[in-house]
Structure 1
Amino acid sequence: MFKKTIFILFLFLSSLATAQDASEKILDQFNDLANYIPKSLEKDTIYTPEIRISKLPFNSISSVKLHNVIRHFSTLTPKEITWLEKKISTLAIALHAEGKYFLVGQIGGAGGCHAEGLIEILYLNTIKITRLNFCHGCTDSYLDKEFVEIFNSKMYQLLHIKRSDLKTHLFYGTYTGKGKNASKIELTLTKERIFTLQITKNDAVEFSEGIWKNENDTLILTSKKVNQSNINTFELNAVKFRLKNPYGKSKLLKLAPKKWKLKKIS
C-alpha cells in the first residue's frame, strides 16, 4: 500500500512539473513575440523636447502597450496623444511589412490568467494570425483600451479583413435549402471566414469556395471561379443574404435576383 501511494504521489508530482514546464515555455514564447522589434524600428529615435512621454523606444508590442498605459496616469497634450497613437499604428505597419501578423487582446478578470490563453493562433481569410492576450485584473482592462483598438484596427486594415462585430458568431454553421428547379443547396460558414457552397441538381454538382463577411445581419459571399477539370466551379461577387431569427432557428434569405431560403442545421 505504501509503495502504491508513493508511486501515485510520484506521478502527481511529475504531472505538475510537466505542466509547469509547459507554462514556462508558453510564457517565454509570449515574451519573445511581445518584445520582438521590427527591423525598421530598431533605431527608432522618438524622444524630442516637444514629446515628453518617455525616452524609451516605441518599437515592440510590449513597449508600446506600456507607453499607452502612461496616458492614464499623466496629463498628455493633444499633440502628444496624436503622436502616441501614430506610434501604435506605425508598429502595426512595421510588423505587417515583415509578414508578422499580430492581433492583441486581453484575458483575466475574475477568472484569473492562465498561460494557455496567452497565445492564440487564428486563421482568418486563410491568413495565419497570432493573437497575444495580455493579462489584466478585475478593474484595469481599460488601461489597454486605446492600444488594442488602434493596433487591431490597423492590422485588420492592412490584411484587408473586416473586423468581426457582435453578430459575426451568429453566422457560423451549415445551412441547407432548395433553389431553382428543386436544386439542393448546402452552405457552410466557418469561424475562419471561409465559406463553401455546393449546389446539386440531377446528380450534377456546382461548387464555390471563398471569403465571407457580415455587415450587421447581412452576409456577403465573394469567390473566384477555379478551373478544375473534375469540379464545376462558379464565381460569386458580393452575393448577399439576410440573417433571420439569429437567436433561434436561424435562416438565411438570399437577396435578389434568385431568392434562396436556407435553414441552419448545425
Structure 2
Amino acid sequence: MINDTTPYLYPFSIEYNILIVGIWILLWENIGRMDRHTHLPSVEMTYEDDNTKGISSNLIIYVDCHSSNRGLFAGLLMTVATIISIILFFIFTANDATKQHGLQVNGFSELIIHVIMIAVAILAFLAIKNLDLIKHGISNVDDLLLYICLPCIFLYAVFSMVPAFTYGKPLFVAVSIVQVVQAVIQTALIADGLRRCANSSNLAAKKPGRELITFLVVANVALWLLETFEIKSEEGNYYKYKFYGKETWTLLSHMTLPLALFYRFHSSVCLVDIWKAGYEAEAEH
C-alpha cells in the first residue's frame, strides 16, 4: 500500500514547501508597513442569552455570492464528469484487453477540459477588462508563484509530447499542446484580474465575468484531481516508460510535475482572490 500511494503523496510535500515560501515573502513584504495592518470591523451580534447582548465579534465575514450560481453549477458538473473519468480510467486500465480504452478516456477527458477552460478564460478576460484598474501597487507573490510553474508546464508538455509523437499518438500530442496554451492564457487572465477592482456601483452590481471566474475556480480543482490521479499512475505513463525508461522518466517527472500540479492549485487560489476582491471597491492605502 505504501508503494502504491507514495507517487500520489509526493507532490503534496513539494506544494507545501512552495506555499511556505510564498507566506514568508508576504511576511517580509509587510514587516514595518503599518498602513497595511488593519483589522476586520466588529459586527454587533444578538444572542439568545440576555446577559450576553451587545457583545461584538470580529469572526464573522460576509461574502457576496451574487452572479456565481451558474458558474458554480457548471463547474460542479465538470468535477462530477472528471471523477467519472478517473473511475473509468482505473477500471479500463486494470485489464490488459481494455488498457487502450482507459488511455483514450484519459486523453479525451484532458483535451475536452482544457479546450473548455481556454474558451472560458478568453471570455472571462474580455469581461473583466471592463473593471477598473487598481491605482496602488499590489504584492507580486501570486505572480511569482505562477511564473515559476510555467517553465515546468512547458518542459513536462515537451517531455510528454516526444513519446506520443514517436509512437503515433496524436491525441496525446494535442493534449500537451492545449495544456501549454491554456496555462499561458489563464496566467495572463490572473495577472490582469488581480489588478482589477469595481470602483463604480454599476460594475459592483453587474459583476462582469464573475460566473466565468467561478467556473474556472472549480475547473482548476477538477483538473488538479485528474492530473494527480491519472498522470501519476503507471498505466498513464506506459508510453513514457517505454520511450525514456522508467528511471529516466521518474527523474524527469519529479523535476517538472510537482510544480505543474501546484500551478493548478495556486491558480484556483488566485481566481478566488479575483472572485472576492475584483468586484469590490479598491481599498484605501
TM-score by length of 1: 0.21
Higher strand share: 1
Higher relative contact order (CA 8 A, sep 6+): 2
Larger Rg belongs to: 1
TM-score by length of 2: 0.20
Higher helix share: 2
